[in-house]
Amino acid sequence: MSGHDAFPHAFSPFTIGSMTVRNRLVALPAGTSMVEQGIPTHGDVEHFERLAAGGVGMIVGGAIVVHPTTTLRSRKLVEAYQDDVVPALRDKVEVIHRHGAKFIGQLVHLGREFIGGESDQPPMAPSPLKTPRDAYPPHELTVREIDDIVEGWRVSTENLVKAGLDGVEIHAAHGYLVAQFLSPQTNRRTDAFGGSFDRRMHFAHLVIEAMRSVAPDDFVLGVRLSGEEEVPGGMGIDDCVRIAEDLAGRGVDYFSITHGTRGKYVKDASNPDAVAVPSAARVRAATGLPTLVGQRIRDVGTADHIVRSGHADLVGMARALIADPELPVKSATGRLDEIRGCLGINQDCRAFDPHLHCAVNAEIGRGRHPGYGVAVARPKQVYVIGGGPAGLETARVAAGRGHAVTLFEAEPQLGGTVRVAAASPHRATLIDAVDYLGRELRRLPVEVNLGAAIDADDLAEIRSLADNVVVATGSRPPALPAAPPGSSMVGVDDVLLGRVPEGVGRQAVVYDEADGFWPAYSAAEALARSGWSVQLVTALTALAPRVPAESAGPLLGRLAAAGVELVVGHRVVLAPDAPPTLRSAFGGAGHELAPALVVWHAPRVPVLLDGVRDAVDAGPGQAPLSVIGDCLTPRRISHAIAEGYRLGAEI
**CATH number for the domain that contains residue 407:** 3.40.50.720
What pLDDT score does 327 carry?
A: 98
Cα–Cα distance, 106 to 169 (Å, whole number): 4
Q: Of 278, 312, 338, which residue constitutes the final position of a domain?
A: 338
Which pLDDT does position 209 carry in this prediction? 98
pLDDT, residue 615, reads 63
CATH number at residue 135: 3.20.20.70
Contact 314, 291 (CB under 8 A): yes
Instruction: Tell me which H or E stretch contains 158.
Output: helix 143-163
**pTM confidence score:** 0.95
Is residue 352 domain-resident?
Answer: no
- Identify the pLDDT of residue 179: 98
Judged by DSSP in three states, 430 sits in helix
What is the pLDDT at residue 611? 72
- Confirm whether 350 is domain-assigned: no
Averages of pLDDT over runs of 10 residues in the chain (651 residues) are 80 97 98 96 97 98 96 95 98 98 98 89 96 92 98 98 98 98 97 98 98 97 98 96 97 97 92 96 98 97 98 98 98 97 95 94 96 97 98 98 98 97 97 98 97 93 94 96 93 96 89 95 97 96 95 96 97 92 91 94 92 66 90 96 98 96
Task: Examine the domain organization and report whether 290 and 412 are in the same domain.
Answer: no
Catalytic residue among 81, 136, 176, 372: 176
- DSSP labels, 346-385: -SSTTT-SSS---SS-TTTTT---TTTTPPPSS--EEEEE
Q: Provide the domain count of the chain.
A: 3
CB 257 within 8 A of CB 220: no
**Secondary structure (DSSP) of 181-210:** HH-TTT----STTSSSHHHHTHHHHHHHHH
Q: What is the DSSP letter of 223?
A: E
- Kindly give the pairing relationship between strand 488-491 and strand 597-601: parallel
Question: Does some domain include residue 539?
Answer: yes
Q: Are residues 520 and 632 located together in one domain of the fold?
A: no
Looking at the domain assignment, is residue 365 inside a domain? no
Q: What is the separation of C-alpha 374 from the centre of its chain, rounded to a whole number of angstroms?
A: 29
Are 277 and 135 found together in one domain? yes
Q: Name the burial class of residue 41, with classes exposed (0-12), middle (13-18) and buried (19+) by CB atoms within 10 angstroms of its CB.
A: middle
Three-class SS state of 280 = helix
Tell me which residue of 489, 512, 467, 480 sits closest to 622, measured CA to CA.
467
Same domain, 548 and 615: no
**Domain boundary at 338, 370, 390, which?**
338
For residues 592 and 459, membership in a common domain is answered with no
SS (H, E, C) 99-127: CCCEEEEEEECCCCCCCCCCCCCCCEECC
Query: So what's the pLDDT on residue 3?
Result: 56
Domain that holds residue 385: 381-477+606-650
| Cis peptide bond prior to 132, omega within 30° of 0 | no
- Which CATH number is 544's domain given? 3.50.50.60
Please name which of 452, 443, 446, 323 lies closest in space to residue 381, comparing C-alpha atoms: 446
158 in the same domain as 75: yes
Let me know: does 531 contact 498? Beta carbons within 8 Å: no
Residues in contact with 300: Cβ distance below 8 Å, sequence separation at least 6, in sequence order: 3, 7, 10, 11, 25, 327, 328, 331, 332
pLDDT (0 to 100) of residue 537: 98
Q: Quote the Cα angle for 640-643-644, to 5°.
A: 85
CB 531, CB 505: distance < 8 Å:
yes
Rounded Cα distance between 261 and 236, Å, is: 12
Phi, psi of 58 (to 5 degrees): -145, 145
Question: Are 78 and 139 in a shared domain?
Answer: yes
Question: Rounded to 10 degrees, what is the CA torsion of 633, 452, 615, 477?
Answer: 20
Domain shared by 189 and 283, yes or no: yes
Q: Within this chain, do residues 599 and 614 fall inside the same structural domain, yes or no?
A: no
Alpha helices in 3-105 (DSSP H): 3-6, 42-53, 85-98
- Establish whether 383 is a catalytic residue: no
Find out whether 552 and 544 touch, Cβ atoms under 8 Å. Answer: yes
Task: Say whether both 620 and 536 belong to one domain.
Answer: no
Asked if residue 354 belongs to a domain, the reply is no
pLDDT at 617: 62
Give the pLDDT score at 627.
Answer: 96
The span from the CA of 206 to the CA of 348, in Å, is 38
Domain end: 603, 620, 642, which one? 603
**599 and 616 fall within a common domain:** no
pLDDT at 246: 98
In a domain, 359, yes or no: no
How many angstroms separate the first and last alpha carbons of the chain? 36
Question: What is the C-alpha separation between 651 and 646, in angstroms, rounded?
Answer: 9
193 located within any domain: yes
Phi, psi of 36, deg, nearest 5 = -125, 125
Torsion-angle region of 134 (φ positive above 0: left; ψ -120 to 50: alpha; else: beta): beta
Q: What is the dihedral of CA 252, 253, 257, 262, to 10 degrees?
A: -50
d(CA 360, CA 324): 9
Residue 125: phi and psi, rounded to 5, are -160, 170
C-alpha span between 307 and 399 (Å, rounded): 38
**Do residues 556 and 437 both lie within one domain?**
no
Is-cis flag, bond preceding 445, omega within 30?
Answer: yes
- Which H or E element spans position 627? strand 625-627
Decide if 461 contacts 615 (C-beta within 8 A): no
**Does the residue 483 lie in any domain?**
no
Other Cβ atoms less than 10 A from the Cβ of 368: the count is: 13
Sort 402 into a burial class: Cβ within 10 Å, 0-12 / 13-18 / 19+: middle
Contact 571, 585 (CB under 8 A): yes
388 C-beta neighbours (distance < 10 Å), count:
30
